[in-house]
Every structure is written in structure tokens, then in C-alpha cells.
Amino acid sequence: MAMAELIPSSSSSLYTKTTSLQYSSQLSNVLSPRLSNQRRVCLKPRNSTIVCSVTSKEVQAPVSVKTEDPKKKPECYGVFCLTYDLKAEEETKSWKKLINIAVSGAAGMISNHLLFKLASGEVFGPDQPIALKLLGSERSLQALEGVAMELEDSLFPLLREVSIGIDPYEVFQDVEWALLIGAKPRGPGMERAGLLDINGQIFAEQGKALNAVASRNVKVMVVGNPCNTNALICLKNAPDIPAKNFHALTRLDENRAKCQLALKAGVFYDKVSNVTIWGNHSTTQVPDFLNAKIDGLPVKEVIKDTKWLEEEFTQKVQTRGGVLIKKWGRSSAASTAVSIVDAIRSLVTPTPEGDWFSTGVYTAGNPYGIAEDIVFSMPCRSKGDGDYELVKDVIFDDYLWNRIKKTEAELLAEKKCVAHLTGEGIAVCDLPGDTMLPGEM
């Protein structure tokens, strides 16, 4: 028999808490309305509290979720306010322990693709139940509710909890993964330095929040641009979390590079491996064709057109995002979400023998001679435990090394621009040219 209580929180608002109920036998009912003898009703009068109620033959219990003061505890949403006896479910289905995943910018375009992939089991596997903690901005709070409604209506069996909020200190509580997508786009006439500052502040605050309330082994994937330097700011503000746990997303660039190499070689893209993106997620990024392979052979043995590799290929990958915006009228969202999935899966599944993947990571003790104390995309391998190691057996030639130095110089300059956000003194911003982010015009 199910029961629900309406519990006043310490503040003026009310939160729904359905307490440790004998809900396990009714789980499938909730997830599968065809079988259900329950009915859930949610009402949100204009400018007021969302009121949900669950009714069944046995239960008539009001369930309430407030929205009045957005700076409060993250809300459980609708059907996700019901709690179930997960233990019984785990026993029957051999499910793993629930993991908490925070997604910021959850009402944005990338998240609109990503959240449904996460909830479907495509990312963490069909035996991994998840809780989604959605962080939005004040402006996007209502849209966040819309996202939560779509998640409800999708009836994902693995999605056990959804909560929404705008305070990272609330939303990041106990999270094991933090996918930091939310950021401000560069407005017309805004300098890159301005973007670094405005978004840097977001990531400084979120770093502090992660440090205060997240799992001590949280893995952080920074997507919001400029993502390398945002990741640096974030990790500097989270001193109690290993710096190694922070990533800047460069997997989309790797995927784009693989596609272009496949196209030129006339092979299907699954034949392309060992592609590294070195450096910054900007137009100084270096897609490495020297170490990449096609069908197990060095790219340069398959594509003999060095001019194409050095000029066209490199430039195509670097500017792909901008070209796509011109065609689409908006920046890449679906392929970015796919690349976030790829990036996470690369950390939670063992890397195939002989291959590697690119991710922007903290350069502490790197074997290549790249400047320390920045976030730089490099080749990595993982045992599938969420951790990674840098690949040692890569080669460099003058072309590759000169390009790496250029992207390194950009990241060192960006770092100086945000010194006020990393606790390293006064910011001095002298960027070597106003490079575009791949997602910009």
C-alpha cells in the first residue's frame, strides 16, 4: 500500500516527500500507465505552486512541488517525486546502485538531446539506474519544467529521479557526474576576453559548489565555452576534488576529424582510429594526422596528399562548427550531445586495444613537454573505471609541434585573463588574436 506525505520544509514552501513506501510492487504501474491503477495529476496555476497528486484505489495523497522561490532546494519533479523500493528492483533486475548525474544548461539545445540519451541507458548501460539533477538559469526555470515533463512522458525505466533547480549548491549534492553545459553565448561585439570573464564566473561558482557538496570522486565534463579555460577555472575552485577528474569536451572535434579523414580516404569512418585533438577547443586546436590511423595504417600512408592534410583538413576541422552555424542557423547540438556520450563512454568502458580518445585534461606531469597547469586536449586511454592515463607512444614532427605551441600559447594567454577567477592574482588579458570558438560564426 502506498502512502505519501506532504511535508513542510524548513522554509516557507512545501516539498513532496514520499517516504520509504512499499512501492516496489507498484513500480511497473507507475512506469507503465497501461497497467496502472494510479492517476497522477499535476497543476501549475499561473505564478504559483505546482501541485501534483497521485490517486489510486488505496491512496489519495496530495503531492506538492513549489516554484515560488527559485533559490531553494532542487525540486523533485512530478512522477519522479515518488520513491520506490529500489532494493527490491535491484534484486530482481540486478541493477547497479543509482548514480546521480547533474546537467547544467539543462533547458538548452545540447541538453535537449543529451538528457534523453542518458535516461535511455545508452550512456551508462541498461543496468544502471540514474537520477538526473537539472541545473538551469533563473530565466530558464520554466523551460526546465518543460524538460522534466518530457522526461516524465518518456517512461524511461532507468530514470528514477529528476530534480530541477537554479542553485548549484543544491543541485550538485552528491553528484557523481557533472556535465556542465550551461553558459552564455558570445553576444554581438563581445570580445573573447569578455566571454572568458562572464562565463568564467559561472564556472568559478560551480567549481565552488562542486567542492562543497558533490561526491569526492565526481567526474566533471565542461562543455560550455570556452571549455578548456572554464574547466581550469572550475577545478581551481574545487581544490578538494582531484584535478584529474575535470575534462573539457574536445570529443566533437575528434569525431569531426575522423569523419573528414574517412571522407578523403573513401572508407567508412569506423576505420579511422588514434585521432588526437591537441590543445584548445578553438580554431587553434590541432587535429593530429601524424599519429592517426586508417585501417591500422598511418594516415600519411593512406592519404598521400600532405598539402590537403596540413591545410584543408586542419582548417576544415577547426572551422566546422562555424560552417555548420551558417547552414543550420544555430550551433551544433545533436552531434555535440553524441560526442558527450562518446566522451563519457570512453571513461566508463575500457579503451579498445591500441586505440585512444581525446579529452581536455589538466596538464600536471604530462610526458609531452606541454606547459603545466592548463587544461589541454591530449590522447588518453581508460580501463573503464572513470579514470584515464595519457598515451605515451605518440610521435611529433615540426609541423605538429609548432601547431601545438600555438594552441598552448592561446591557453596560457586565456589563463592570464582569468587569474582573478583562479585565485592567481590580477587578470591581464592579452590574447594572441581573437580566435573563434568552433561553434561561432
Residue 131, beta-bridge partner list: 100, 161
How many chain residues touch ligand NAD (CB under 6 A)? 30
Binding residue (CB under 6 A) for ligand NAD from 223, 294, 380, 411: 223
281 a catalytic residue: yes
Which of 252, 261 has the CB closer to ligand NAD? Answer: 252
81 binds ligand NAD (CB under 6 A): no
Q: Does residue 272 contact residue 292 with C-beta atoms inside 8 Å?
A: yes
CA distance linking residue 203 with residue 104, whole number of Å: 11
- Nearest in space to 421 (alpha carbons), one of 229, 167, 135, 151: 229
Q: How many angstroms separate the first and last alpha carbons of the chain?
A: 58
Taking CB under 6 A as the rule, which mask of x and - marks residues 260-289 in contact with ligand NAD?
---------------------x--------
Q: What is the dihedral sign for C-alpha 25, 27, 31, 37? A: positive
Nearest 5°: the CA angle 229, 235, 238 is 145
227 binds ligand NAD (CB under 6 A): yes
Q: How far is the CB of 231 from ligand NAD (least distance, A)?
A: 10
Which of 336, 422 has the CB closer to ligand NAD? Answer: 336
Q: Which phi and psi angles does 351 have, rounded to 5°?
A: -70, 130
In the complex, residue closest to ligand NAD by CB = 108
Nearest 5°: the CA angle 34, 36, 38 is 135
Provide the pairing of β-strand 177-180 with 293-294. unpaired
H-run or E-run covering 402: helix 398-417
Binding residue (CB under 6 A) for ligand NAD from 135, 147, 257, 418: 135
Binding residue (CB under 6 A) for ligand NAD from 147, 202, 235, 302: 202
Q: How far is the CB of 65 from ligand NAD (least distance, A)?
A: 19
The stretch among 16-24, 135-143, 260-268, 271-279 that binds ligand NAD (CB under 6 A) is 135-143
Q: Which residue has the cell 546502485?
A: 97
Question: What are the catalytic residues?
Answer: 281
Contact positions vs ligand NAD (CB under 6 A): 104-105, 107-110, 135-137, 139-140, 181-185, 202, 223-225, 227, 249, 252, 281, 331-333, 336, 437, 439
